[in-house]
Amino acid sequence: MRNRLYEETKSQYISDSRNAANYAPDNQEYGKNRFARRVRSKVANSVKEFNEIDMNKLFKDDILTVDVKVDGETDEYKVKISFGGFCKIVRDQVKQRNLNEVDLRTITSALLLGFNKSDIYVNCTCDDFKYRFAAVLTQKGLNSGQPELRPAKITNPNDDKGRGCKHILLVLNNTSFLLKIASVINNYIKYIKDHYESMYADIIYPALFGKPYEEASQTSIEDKDELDTDVEIIDKSNEYGKTRTQFKQGNLDGVRFTKSSDNKDQVSIFDSEEEVVDDTQQ
């Protein structure tokens, strides 16, 4: 993980932003107002909108970096979220449950645990983030995007406006998008395994299972040291997943989720009401 001066979990971002209004309760631009207004924006809700993931960084460095599209009040923005620990959590689950294969449920569980417990790095393309938060988070080593070295002397001179814009707060207070990311990662793993087995054996399998691939792998003329992770290959893997994970009798890839009663944005992977198998056609 990158060098950091501060540590900030998801809950700390939210708490700092909620409490920011205590510094200047009459200023409507401060934290509580941002947190309240987050619900006026919407997070991307289909698998196909999460096709910009650096799979090399994920499986080689154990860092998930993903752009989450947000339909804001005035425009569309991208919130860049980055956190580590996904592969380690998967490896722990593999050992604890003696798994021979990593399925969608395991991937989703690892993402939820990582997102809730790991240090989070954030960025947003909106002006509020650029002019009020980018410099502060760069200084603290928490900016997941382009560093901003110019201090916010006018717009946030005392670093008392919370930890992010309303789009970041919306994403941090939401777990439903992780279900889409889990589907993308699951589709990608299965696609690489079935089409580029040597690359799966050399890069993905050791990251997920913590040991060398135990079977003979089929090499390909297209095999290389780096995973192909551009938008085109991820779109192909999602299309592949659309047919591979369609619900069939006996299919164990289907995972059931439900929204919890106390927070409409939070999703539990253990209570089951809604079947989530594949939604790439959305």
Q: What is the pLDDT of residues 20-42, one digit of tens each?
A: 644 444 444 444 565 565 656 67
Look at residue 248 in the predicted model and tell me its pLDDT. Answer: 53
209 pLDDT higher than 70: yes
Query: Residue 259 — very low, low, confident or very high, per pLDDT cuts 50/70/90?
Result: very low
Look at residue 254 in the predicted model and tell me its pLDDT. Answer: 47
Q: Is residue 4 part of a domain?
A: no
Residues sharing a CB contact under 8 Å with residue 100, sequence separation 6 or more, in sequence order: none
Q: What percent of the chain has a predicted confidence (pLDDT) above 90? A: 37
Look at residue 189 in the predicted model and tell me its pLDDT. Answer: 97
Q: Is residue 48 part of a domain?
A: yes
Look at residue 261 in the predicted model and tell me its pLDDT. Answer: 39
Looking at the structure of the chain, the number of domains it has is 1
Q: Is residue 35 part of a domain?
A: yes
Look at residue 42 in the predicted model and tell me its pLDDT. Answer: 78
Q: Quote the mean pLDDT of the chain.
A: 77
Q: Is residue 136 part of a domain?
A: yes
SS (HEC) of the chain = CCCCCCCCEHHHHHHHHHHHHHCCCCCCCCHHHHHHHHHHCEECCCHHHCCCECHHHHHHHCEEEEEEEEECCCCEEEEEEEEECHHHHHHHHHHHHCCCCCCHHHHHHHHHHHHHHCECEEEECCHHHHHHHHHHHHHHCCECCCCCCCCCCCCCCCCCCCCCCHHHHHHHCCCHHHHHHHHHHHHHHHHHHHHCHHHHHHHHHHHHHCCCCCCCCCCCCCCCCCCCCCHHHHHHHHHHHHHHCCCCCCCCCCEEEEECCCCCCCEECCCCCEEECCCCCC
251 pLDDT higher than 50: yes
Look at residue 25 in the predicted model and tell me its pLDDT. Answer: 44
Query: Residue 136 — very low, low, confident or very high, per pLDDT cuts 50/70/90?
Result: confident
**Residues spanned by the domain of 200:** 10-276
Query: Residue 282 — very low, low, confident or very high, per pLDDT cuts 50/70/90?
Result: very low
Query: Residue 270 — very low, low, confident or very high, per pLDDT cuts 50/70/90?
Result: very low
Higher model confidence: residue 28 or residue 119? 119
pTM: 0.75
CA distance 158 to 107: 40
Q: Is residue 193 part of a domain?
A: yes
Q: Is residue 281 part of a domain?
A: no
CA distance 268 to 1: 28
Q: Is residue 282 part of a domain?
A: no
Q: Is residue 216 part of a domain?
A: yes
Indicate the range of 56-65, 98-107, 141-150, 257-266 predicted with least confidence: 257-266
Average pLDDT over residues 67-83: 88
Average pLDDT over residues 255-273: 43
**Structure tokens belonging to residue 122:** 């954030």
Look at residue 249 in the predicted model and tell me its pLDDT. Answer: 52
